[in-house]
A = this chain, B = another copy of it.
Amino acid sequence: MEHIENDNKYEGLAVNKGVAQPPAVNPYLNKIRKVRRRQYTAAEYTEHILKGDITVLSQAVTLVESNLPDHQILAQEVIEKCLPYAGSSVRVGITGVPGSGKSTSIDAFGLHVLKKGGKLAVLAIDPSSELSKGSILGDKTRMEKLSVADNAFIRPSPSAGSLGGVARKTRETIVLCEAAGFDNIFVETVGVGQSETAVHSMVDFFLLIQLAGTGDELQGIKRGIMEMADGIVINKADGSNIEKAKLAQAHFRNALHLFPPTPSGWIPQVLTYSGYYEIGIGEVWNMIDEYIAFVKKNGYFEHKRQEQAKYWMLETINDQLKSHFYQNSEIVSLLQEKENRVLHSIQSPFTAAKEVLDFYFGKIL
């Protein structure tokens, strides 16, 4: 019985366990670091972030990503202090399956943005790192030009954790980056999982990178993603591939024409470009600028931002209500038993659900 009570004890938002860091090459490194880096207060963090200090921004993001309760509390304080200074960037979600040339494209798009004189943060959401034990996205080495560019801040996906947890950390990192004066935020993700909905719910523009071809390239992409896109861009439109890319463009345009209108009133565009040869990069970005101007004028920009803020509050609540229930060990075994009865048509899904709920609320009320 005591066991159950423990199970149900609410200890604040569940924080997902992290993955152990690989051993440092220099075993004394941590000691040295401890001596060198003293912990800032929330006010100090904020002060430095607002000045655009990238080293402190980086440390604050590490704090956001940390699963230690002390770090979490401090991180939330910093975020609250930064909030009034956040919100003024253009947030672009970029998705595409592996092989679509996402990194090369982000490199090219990023340089284009920086040439216009802005500051750019490249973040990522990659819950698949749960399996790969580390993030594969936002890797600096794959963005050759951006990684050495001034005014660019590249941060890999928070490693490991549930999608909700990873997405939350990325969303909070956006706040910090904006407070630090970054006026362009890219959020990168791979178009194969659930993470696109999360990304879609934190960006202003959702860009889908596709390839021309027989349709084989689409095999990996998830259904429903195409309908989320505010723009579809067909990569590798260069050399002998141009004609194929133009054909794909026509196909996608026709397909989008069959879709119902977007809630923003914007008609999603289809463009071709080459990330590697840097062809058509300006045109892609003009589309995004045009979109932003369009939705700022019709009020959808602000509306969407507000809906997103509400969404994240309610999503967090719903996630937490569920994990409180589904992580209870007695519920787990009861559910297993009920599921068997349902699958063998002994019990209807609804009475099964009712009995499990009766048990849950009977225990905790």
CA distance A87 to B220 in the complex (A): 33
Residue of B nearest to A311 (CB): B349
* 8 Å CB contact of A258 from B218, B306, B311: B218
Min Cβ gap A364→B in Å is: 6
Chain B residues with CB below 8 A from A221, complex form: 260
A345 and B84 within 8 A (CB): yes
Binds B, one of A40-48, A104-112, A136-144, A321-329: A321-329
A348 and B218 within 8 A (CB): no
B325 and A313 within 8 A (CB): no
Chain B residues with CB below 8 A from A2, complex form: none
Min Cβ gap A83→B in Å is: 5
B258 and A350 within 8 A (CB): no
CB within 8 Å of B: which of A277-326?
306, 309-314, 316-318, 320-322, 324-325
Interface residues on A, range: 35 or more
Chain B residues with CB below 8 A from A312, complex form: 349-350, 353
A9 and B365 within 8 A (CB): yes
Chain B residues with CB below 8 A from A260, complex form: 218-223
A80 and B365 within 8 A (CB): no
A13 and B321 within 8 A (CB): no
Residue of B nearest to A87 (CB): B345
B342 and A226 within 8 A (CB): no
CA distance A273 to B316 in the complex (A): 47
A316 and B353 within 8 A (CB): yes
Given contact pairs A255-B255, A309-B349, A316 touches B354 in the complex (Cβ within 8 A)? yes
Residue A194, interface by CB 8 Å: no
Chain B residues with CB below 8 A from A254, complex form: 251, 254-255
Given contact pairs A251-B254, A338-B313, A350-B312, A321 touches B320 in the complex (Cβ within 8 A)? no
Given contact pairs A254-B251, A348-B76, A350-B13, A324 touches B226 in the complex (Cβ within 8 A)? no
Other CB < 8 Å A-B pairs besides A10-B358, A222-B260, 17 of them?
A13-B357, A76-B348, A168-B350, A215-B257, A218-B259, A219-B260, A223-B262, A226-B227, A306-B343, A310-B339, A310-B342, A312-B350, A313-B339, A316-B354, A317-B357, A320-B353, A321-B321
Closest 9 CB pairs of A and B: A316-B353, A10-B361, A312-B349, A255-B255, A313-B349, A83-B345, A223-B227, A317-B353, A321-B321
Ordered by A's residue number, 18 sampled pairs between the chains whose C-beta atoms are within 8 Å are A10-B357, A10-B365, A12-B358, A13-B354, A13-B357, A83-B345, A83-B347, A86-B345, A172-B350, A218-B259, A218-B260, A221-B260, A227-B227, A254-B255, A311-B349, A317-B357, A318-B318, A321-B322
